[in-house]
Structure 1
């Protein structure tokens, strides 16, 4: 009996130390380098993009041009925490046909991107991709939209609020957040609380995560850029309550879409795609009016 208790204590301590040393990064990042699907297999035109970060990493991304002669805008896509862009591309593969350019990147440690993933690095990578778009791809009149799913949504909130706060140009025309969460600490605490072995440690371990990137505290700073928040009532990964809480914290103009799909499977459903493109049309109009 004593031996079993000792073993349990040691296992718990080892797990706690592992999480503490990684700053709970293991809860957020599950990258791999396998190629699941490439744009050409979906009959999409594309080109590879390689970007250098300020700290010496190389990020890989795909540029997917709009199929229409005159694009409706450019969507910058930040994906979720697992695998890499080749497994997430189906979430945005429909957008070129809808008239939007798409740029999606892998954070450090994902796919062809170098380095090891961590929160600060992923935030830096997300900004690196957005800055490349702003400096190299966009005509002055080209609307720029940020679309983030799950982890990408949380990174997107921090990025969009800072972009707006610094009055960076071009301004974001719209932000779409799908299946995101209220904060890194908040979701870490929830996930640690689901497992009996880490339940007693959920509060102290969550405090190893930097507190300045909690979406619930930052999302209001995105205004006056229109924000659309999407969350599924059937999401088994990020509980539904995160969506309404983010919506409540956001400033107008904003819109909420409750869906009914598995986690981050929103764009399998044509009705939800149309809801997003309708929002983008109204959001872009609002952005144009703000610039007058």
Structure 2
């Protein structure tokens, strides 16, 4: 019996340390590095500084549409690693198609003050949306685009703020909607961590996750997920889609990996995305 308890102890203790430090599990910020200089690829974004409710100074880049008036403004909630200078190129191309793009860094990323955690990231999402509404209200409707870890922040932001803005669409790419669920899925993949799965519910909180995805309706939601994604498993995207109400659309990318929808596949999904956006304007 003592041997059994000893084995359980040495299995559970690493899981406690792993999951109790949520920031180290979900967030990998880089403060100082410039990954891809926008000037080197023909972009000249405006530096934007704004504050959230906790008075943290946050940083973003505003990329204006190449035509006026803009068709809409896309607010980009990027993924969990590095900073906005390594993420903006995923969507910067769309400014040539008549859309503004605003990308911002969460607390602790890039030039943004503070430290990342589920609450502070959500507060930065609120603040980014508020900044666009206050300063760019004449720039057309708003599209929220959340990628990877940014997707869970984007979904909750859309739920909490949709009544305050002219929200046209929510897009979530390679994402999940529960910190507890993704931790459980990750723990289930290895024989050593498999017994630790219940710890994901005991040690992680979904207080700042989206509680009711159906409440986004009637705003349409586009879910994108590569079927070979090894970072955020496809089953997590399926769960997001399952919990949404209509109108909703799912793009299952057969050979897609993590967040590669607009870069591989001969870039055919760029055209498909533009067509999808155009169809939203039709009766």
Tell me which residue corresponds to 2:130.
131
**Alignment CA distance shift 1:199-1:261 (3 Å):** same
Tell me the distance in 1 between the aligned counterparts of 2:200 and 2:24. 12
Tell me which residue corresponds to 1:289.
none
Structure 2: give runs of 5+ residues left out of the alignment: none
Tell me which residue corresponds to 1:61.
60
Aligned-residue offset at 1:213: 4.2
Tell me which residue corresponds to 1:267.
262
1:65-76 counterparts in 2 under 5 A? 65-76=64-75
Tell me which residue corresponds to 1:86.
85
* 1:38-67 deviation per Cα after TM superposition (whole angstroms, max 9, x unaligned): 322220121111111221211111000011
**Alignment CA distance shift 1:171-1:18 (3 Å):** same
**Alignment CA distance shift 1:252-1:15 (3 Å):** closer
TM-score normalised per structure 2: 0.89
Tell me which residue corresponds to 2:179.
184
Tell me the distance in 2 between the aligned counterparts of 1:240 and 1:248. 12
Alignment root-mean-square deviation, CA = 2.3
Tell me the distance in 2 between the aligned counterparts of 1:112 and 1:264. 24
Tell me which residue corresponds to 2:27.
29
TM-score normalised per structure 1: 0.86
Corresponding residue SS for 2:262: helix
Moved runs in structure 1, 4+ residues, more than 6 A?
5-8
Tell me which residue corresponds to 1:17.
17
Corresponding residue SS for 2:94: coil
> Of the candidates 140, 143, 148, which is equivalent to residue 142 of structure 1?
140
Tell me the distance in 1 between the aligned counterparts of 2:149 and 2:44. 27
Tell me which residue corresponds to 1:106.
105
Aligned-residue offset at 1:99: 1.1
Tell me the distance in 2 between the aligned counterparts of 1:43 and 1:127. 30
1:167-182 counterparts in 2 under 5 A? 167-168=163-164, 170-182=165-177
* 1:65-110 deviation per Cα after TM superposition (whole angstroms, max 9, x unaligned): 0112331110000001111111111211211111110000010011
Equivalent pair of 1:45/1:65 in contact (CA under 8 Å): no
Tell me the distance in 2 between the aligned counterparts of 1:122 and 1:274. 31
**Alignment CA distance shift 1:204-1:10 (3 Å):** closer
Tell me the distance in 2 between the aligned counterparts of 1:262 and 1:31. 22
Tell me the distance in 1 between the aligned counterparts of 2:231 and 2:19. 20
Equivalent pair of 1:184/1:213 in contact (CA under 8 Å): no
**Alignment CA distance shift 1:163-1:98 (3 Å):** same
> Of the candidates 150, 153, 159, which is equivalent to residue 152 of structure 1?
150
